[in-house]
Structure 1
Amino acid sequence: MADEVVVLRNPGAGKGRHRGSLPSVLERLAAAGRPVRVLEAGSAAEAEAACRQAVAEGAGALVAIGGDGTVHLAQQAVAGTGVPLGVIPAGTGNDFATSAGLPVDLFAAADAVAAALRDGRTRSLDLARLTTPDGQTRWFGAVLAAGFDAIVNERGNRMRWPRGPIRYDIAVLLELARLRARRYTVTVDGESRELDAVLLAVGNTSRYGGGMRICPDADPTDGLLDMVWAEPVSRATLVRIKPRVYSGTHITHPKVRSLRARSITLATDDIVCYADGERICPLPVTIEAVPGAVTLLA
């Protein structure tokens, strides 16, 4: 098992456009000269459990083929263990891979992971560890959304019609119509304050939502989290700020603020937070930067 490379794949990632590429990817991974095994799972919960079991049984490496959600599942198993993680982006956003400077082409990424396996080449990156009020923990590698974008995700995920990404566009319009600032209690490295915000995110890396650089200065090697928020603004101003998030220039807007910290606790009413694009839980949550929590094959 110590030499075995265990692969978690999401056939539906990226709208299934890489579904037929798995044999070629596995062939490239096998070029590292180590046994390769693909995990079988019928749901996200089963996939996470399979990853945890493989790591517990002594897998030599875990490789995630998919988007940010697949990488998120794999991180739950390898965080803090030293078991190397390979990332082969196959999703629509691939924000963690992009922020971490990994190849985003499917086959180039597979070749890079194989070369790292063959040469024993790794590097360490920070992860964020999130703790819920009942003591449950989750890890995330990219960004946690806890403001307008989280509210839009929650509405979009509840909608049964229309199908596809357009429902999130509709959710944006519906939530813009009822836009209001929320009062947050934020504890930053042990010091509490209250702030009003319409948009709020905490980043280990810079990107979320398929390329939006919401925390443009976040560095996953500095042992710190970046929190970015927009103070109360009108609908029109938020609509003007949002496109600037793709380039990261929103950070210069006079209504946008940021800070860095090792630990951040967020509390407010009626917001469910999302991390790496995955639904986590209603606030409050505590987030801590954990230096070197993941070992990447790179």
Structure 2
Amino acid sequence: MTEHDHRPALAPAGPVPAGPVAVLTNPTAGRGRHADLLPAVLDRLAVAGRTLRLLTADTPDQALAACHDAVADGAAALVTVGGDGTVHLALQAVAGTPVAYGAVPTGTGNDFAADTGFPADPLAAADAIGAALAAGRTRPVDLARMTGPDGSVRWFGAVLAAGFDAIVNERANRMRWPRGRRRYDLAILVELARLRPRRYRLVLDGVPHEFDAVLVAVGNCASYGGGLRICPAADPTDGLLDVVVGGRFDRRELMRVKPRLARGTHVDHPLVRTFRARTVELAAHDITAYADGERATPLPVTITAVPHATNLLL
């Protein structure tokens, strides 16, 4: 988990401050299918008449450091060209600052961009961001702040997963074979064979709950995994987190309910419970949570909804 300074998490909406626009691009996002769009994206951002500063990075750690450095060096805005992983890195730098943020979605999932209103087409998103920059227009949205067991702080924009889906991600990340999507599919099969409910303790705005569950998600936005509406009622402007708990599912019932995630109707299943809270304390044994699809923190974790934590270029 990345250490983060404890700046006041408040980014009042208003004109975009003076200064250059930093652009972080991930050419491998979405398996590289949009890698050739960068010149056209930059042309659309340049209509605002601001200096564009292209950030260079070869690794996620370098990208994170480049985002922090850009904010510290006086960037007025940060724009990412990539998927949810790239968004996640950028949010660590802009959260709680007046630096505006724009997402050009070129990844596989693009859940945060979609749920906060950026156009799905990358060039249309770049046009929208360029127009917002030219007009000096921003719109505030909430983020979720995680505090891990070691006291370190990190932010997420979309969804934190801490159940079967996180366990599958952890398995897939440990595997060296096969490559690509097949590795994830194999991890699902392995973990389905080992499926068992885990004991979770949740404290929601100070009220404790305990559950045996196989799915636990905390959403600032509705979707994860490329449009799966795991927290279908989540609203990134309401100052609250949505919590979805899927109880003692067996393998067969879990596979039966999985297609309903795309529509968000899984919350009607009798084994699913939903909650809403400003602060969520979540604990379970031997679980590593994933946020915005990225490996985030071992449990326990405290998650807090932070209203107006960043300003979007929309």
With normalisation by structure 2, the TM-score equals 0.94
Q: CA deviation at 1:174?
A: 0.9
Q: CA deviation at 1:42?
A: 1.4
Alignment counterpart, residue 118 of structure 2, candidates 102, 107, 113: 102
* CA distances 1:17-58 after superposition (whole Å, capped 9, x unpaired): 111111111111111111101001111111111111111111
Deviates more, 1:1-10 or 1:43-52: 1-10
The equivalent residue for 1:163 is: 179
Query: Residues 23-102 of structure 1: matches in 2 within 5 Å?
Result: 23-102=39-118
Residue 197 of structure 1 pairs with residue 202 of structure 2: no
Distance 1:32 1:10 in 2: 23
Residue 252 of structure 1 pairs with residue 268 of structure 2: yes
Residue 224 of structure 1 pairs with residue 204 of structure 2: no
The equivalent residue for 1:112 is: 128
Question: Residue type matched to 2:41 in 1?
Answer: V
* CA distances 1:174-214 after superposition (whole Å, capped 9, x unpaired): 11111000001111111222111111100000000111000
Q: CA deviation at 1:104?
A: 1.1
Residue 241 of structure 1 pairs with residue 257 of structure 2: yes
* CA distances 1:88-119 after superposition (whole Å, capped 9, x unpaired): 00101100011112101010000100000000
The equivalent residue for 1:284 is: 300
Q: CA deviation at 1:274?
A: 0.2
With normalisation by structure 1, the TM-score equals 0.99
Question: Residue type matched to 1:62 in 2?
Answer: L
- Contact conserved, 2:87 with 2:103, CA < 8 A, in 1? yes
* CA distances 1:204-263 after superposition (whole Å, capped 9, x unpaired): 000001110000000001000000011102111000111100110101111111000000
The equivalent residue for 1:274 is: 290
Distance 1:285 1:234 in 2: 26
Q: Kindly, what percent of the aligned residue pairs are identical?
A: 64
SS of 1:31's partner is: helix
The equivalent residue for 1:209 is: 225
Q: CA deviation at 1:75?
A: 0.4
- Contact conserved, 2:149 with 2:298, CA < 8 A, in 1? no
Question: Residue type matched to 1:161 in 2?
Answer: W
The runs of 5 or more residues in structure 1 that have no matched partner are none
Distance 1:231 1:19 in 2: 41
The equivalent residue for 1:140 is: 156
The runs of 5 or more residues in structure 2 that have no matched partner are 1-16
How many correspondences in the alignment?
298
Distance 2:260 2:225 in 1: 13
Q: CA deviation at 1:3?
A: 2.2
Q: Which runs of 4+ in 1 moved over 2 A?
A: none
Q: CA deviation at 1:295?
A: 0.3
The equivalent residue for 2:5 is: none
SS of 1:232's partner is: coil
Question: Residue type matched to 1:171 in 2?
Answer: A
* CA distances 1:58-110 after superposition (whole Å, capped 9, x unpaired): 11110011000001100000001021001100101100011112101010000
SS of 1:154's partner is: helix
Q: CA deviation at 1:14?
A: 0.7
Distance 1:237 1:185 in 2: 23
Distance 2:209 2:46 in 1: 52
